[in-house]
Structure 1
Amino acid sequence: MRGQERLTNPDKNETRKTRYFSDFALRHMKEMRVLAKGGALGKENAEWRNVSEHCLAETVGADILAEALGADREKVVTAVLLHDWNKRTEIETMTQHGAEEGYKEVTANGERLLRDYGVPEDVVTLSQSNILKSANRNDWLNLPIEAKIVYFIDVITSGTKFVGFEERLRLAAQKPNTVELSEGFRSTYGGKSLLQVQAEASPLIQKGLEDLLHLEPGTLIDFIMRKLEERIQTY
């Protein structure tokens, strides 16, 4: 019946979706206030609202994975909600000082501010797991499950949509600032760019998560979308 209702009354399904995401945000007001401090929420920051919407969508996906995988949901949710909390400052600083230097400056300052806001050290570290620390395959495979979730959900989220990591990286490669930043990681990754490392790591991490969930290869995003739809339909 619910499936037929979605076809005949799409507005009602959108209402349920809005209610679900609004309720999720209300249940995490502490983190949403940090997003506001970063200039991604509030009437005066309307042009940056897409950042908070991106963080919220990504967090719901991460929460679905954390629940299914038995990971620490609270830590994962907080980390993902805050992973781009100062994206506005990051973009403005990268524009002014260049992608590589701007990113380094904002990342260090952003981590310090999160600590000042009372975010636990391990969650601050986890929030940065969307950027892999090395180009070593064994390091990727040995990441804690929470870090794998944070990494994977970021590499498949474009705006508020979950897409394949191939598509996400293809879109990223079309952005000059992202390419400049990616090139700046060659010294960290032994000559490889950030986008190259992500292209190598993403299928391995996805396969590992699919194996843990006993899913067919390449079906993890479908799994997330199916679980999201189940949540929405309860509203």
Structure 2
Amino acid sequence: MKIIKDIKAELKNIVLSRTFDTILPPLIFALVNNFFNLNYALILAIFTALALILKRFIKKENWKYSWGGLFIVLFASALTLLTDNASSYFLPAIFSSSILLIITLTSIILGKPIAAWASHISRSWPLAWFWRKDIKPAYQEVSIFWAIFIALRLIIQIILFQSASPLFLAWANILLGWPFTITILIISYIYGLWRLKNLGGPGVEEFKNDKNPPWEGQKKGF
């Protein structure tokens, strides 16, 4: 089916190889800390992040996400050492979820939905197209959907953090990270295209070419 091929293409552009670099270090930390001690867990997590950078460099792959992963590992490790609490390793994830929720809710309240900004930045589509009355509701509704997901993830992270269970928190962060995010993106893509069709607005190319109605609407990409 065409929709399946489109979704695969979208996910390939979004995910690439960055998933592995972001989930492996915290998983190593949680597993090692569960069976050994905090210091070993921190050392191996940092070593894992460095090894991933080296691997990307040798294979001449995109390694900027590995550097981002290393920064997060170092920051989380510093928090863990300062608090002497293994669960503190996952505070950056809780903090990022909180900030993202605030940004998403603010964009919805201001009527400039974050889903539209994300699409504009990644696709370079005209910003004016997103703010049309026959286009924006689709992105507003998807942004509300994102806000619900982010809030749910944050609640689960806080509950597990308070339970002081690093291993459970690690698995929750992994499952509520890329796997759940990919599911959200697929649903957003399918719903977004369906909603744009019902709104009856022009497609991006039709908008660029200043085409008069009736429009065919957006056929691919959201």
TM class by shorter chain equals 0.3 to 0.5
Q: TM-score, normalised by structure 1?
A: 0.33
Q: Hey, which of these two has a bigger chunk of helix by percent?
A: 2
Q: TM-score, normalised by structure 2?
A: 0.35
The structure with higher relative contact order (CA 8 Å, sep 6+) is 1
